[in-house]
Amino acid sequence: MATVAAPSAAANPPPAQAGVSGTVDAKGGATSPKAPQMTRDNGAPIGDNRNSLAAGDTGPVLLEDITLIEKLARFDRERVPERVVHARGTGAHGVFRATADLSDITTASLFAQRGKETPVFVRFSTVIHPSGSPEGLRDPHGFAVKFYTDQGNWDLVGNNLPIFFIRDAIQFPDMIHSLKPSPVTNKQDPNRLFEFFSGTPEATNMLVHVYSNLGTPASYRTMDGNGVHAFKLVGKDGKTIFAKFRWISHQGVKNLDGDTANKAPFNHLTDDLYGEIAKGNFPSWDLMVQTQTAEELAKLPYNPFDDTKEWLGVPFRKIGEMTLNKVPENFFRFTEQSAFAPANLVPGIEPSPDRMLQGRLFSYSDTQRYRIGANVMDLPVNRPRVDVVNNYQDGQLDHATGKIDVNYFPSVTAKKAVDPRFAPAPHRIDAIVQTAPISRTEPFDQAGAFYRALKPADKADLVKNLAGDLNVVTSLRTKVIMVSYFAQADRDLGTRLGQAVNVPASEVEKAIAEYNASLDARYAGK
């Protein structure tokens, strides 16, 4: 590999550098003392640092290998990138207390015993609207919880609604583009978002939720939270079970109708949360979990890893309580710089095959590294409460201290350890690798069930809210298709909405017939 003539002298370092303190050369053949356990940036221990998570001996590497993705993304950012801002949100400190011992189904330490307490930081937010927007605007509302556990940080990143618009992360950039302002007019436009959703029937369930009064909560204290996705819990014996998490507000769920939300003060959600904490009225939530074995999930009439669906009929049980008791001392340093990512998992909690979650494992962490910088996890609000041991270096805002010459693995002079106990749980995959939609889509069933469970006044508000935006749409085709989706969810909903937006019932019936006749082609986007 040499490109020039070799020097005649022996390849020893110059005298001025020989034996520099802290270098491999100075240590010679010496071995290091007990090796510290290697971790990811969130402090969670690493089980293998030389082999990627792959589907079989010859299979492809999986995107859910969060150690691999983090390692490569951090390496890619060792040279400083530019920074980008983030959306509107409000945060608070608090504590989580386990009320159940889950050591029989997961090795996650925060659930190891009843009464165990774990510090948390919670960030509530709007999803679509920009940082300077009024808080009364209709939107899904983010509900992200960072647990500072003694095995590293666990981020349960979800929202106040139990499902999402799409089921595959490959559609996420397109969906967000449709919901954000037009690149031509710089205005949000119902024509854009409903054109997108007219080709995305699985979004019907989320649309009836967000256009209900759940889309305009009265306060952050009076909304529930959901992890949305299924996760895999791994026990000491290596056995796995699947779980979904939900936060239930002790303050009850209270929402505003559209008219009241439009008149709400600009900062009403933040003012309410800060004000109640200042009074000592600390808001609290129960953490609930649904669990299902793989065999039980196989009996469900829909794909259990489809995040446009709830696990309806699967019981919840309480496993903990969370209380928020402190307002951040500085908004920017804590709330704005807090960085949440579903890839921040801890031993005993792993990803499920949920296609949306699989993409979020990469995209959220990558967004935070771009937005704040490669050393985002060094900031006080994001820093784990355990030692972080890895070979990541440099990048934006690096303020590491100490002299570290051995920034590679393996090494005999400065050992770092990995423990196979923390490797991802093995699971068998027997499938054809292809790009194809899931086989059981059922895009309308749960949307109809949600509508039928609403009170009469809430049904009327849902129709009014939907009609308000659909009446802005100029494309009759888009309006007809959207009404046909809601009609397939529930006939009463479709009839009332069709009348509200002046779509003839005959056109709706024709659209339903065309949809059913070309279901496969339509879903595949052909």
Determine if residue 364 is labeled as part of a ligand binding site. Answer: yes
Buried b (16+ CB within 10 A) or exposed e, 268-279: bbbebbeebbee
Rounded to whole angstroms, how far apart are CA atoms 478 and 489? 17
| Residue 67 to residues 36, 42, 52, 407, Cα–Cα distance (Å) | 17, 11, 8, 17
Active-site option among 42, 86, 153, 382:
86
- Specify the DSSP element, H or E, that contains 195: helix 190-198
Which backbone phi and psi does 288 adopt, to 5 degrees? -115, 155
In DSSP terms, which residues pair with 231 in a beta bridge?
Answer: 243, 351
| Helix residue ranges, H only, 336-397 | 355-371
Residues with Cβ within 8 Å of residue 327, at least 6 apart in sequence: 92, 93, 274, 277, 278
Which backbone phi and psi does 124 adopt, to 5 degrees? -95, 150
End-to-end C-alpha distance for the chain, whole angstroms: 52
CA neighbor of 307 nearest in space, from 383, 359, 260, 264: 359
Packed helices 491-500 and 476-489: angle between N→C axes, nearest 10 degrees: 150
Active-site option among 42, 93, 153, 159:
159
Residue 425: alpha-carbon gap to chain centroid: 21
Buried b (16+ CB within 10 A) or exposed e, 440-476: ebbbbbbbbebbeebeeebbebbbbbbbebbeebeee
Q: How many CA atoms lie within 13 A of 312 on its CB side?
A: 13
Active site residue 86: yes
Rounded to whole angstroms, how far apart are CA atoms 509 and 515? 10
Which backbone phi and psi does 277 adopt, to 5 degrees? -65, -40
Q: How many residues comprise the chain?
A: 526
Q: How many CA atoms lie within 13 A of 284 on its CB side?
A: 12
Contact (CB, 8 A) for 209 and 492: no
> Quick one: DSSP state of residue 509?
H
One DSSP character per residue, 126-175 reads ESSS-TTS-TTS---EEEEEEEEEBTEEEEEEEESSSS-S-S-GGGHHHH
CA neighbor of 107 nearest in space, from 361, 350, 426: 350
In DSSP terms, which residues pair with 242 in a beta bridge?
Answer: 232, 292
Rounded to whole angstroms, how far apart are CA atoms 49 and 45? 11
Binding residues for heme: 364
Which active-site residues does the annotation give? 86, 159
Binding residues: 364
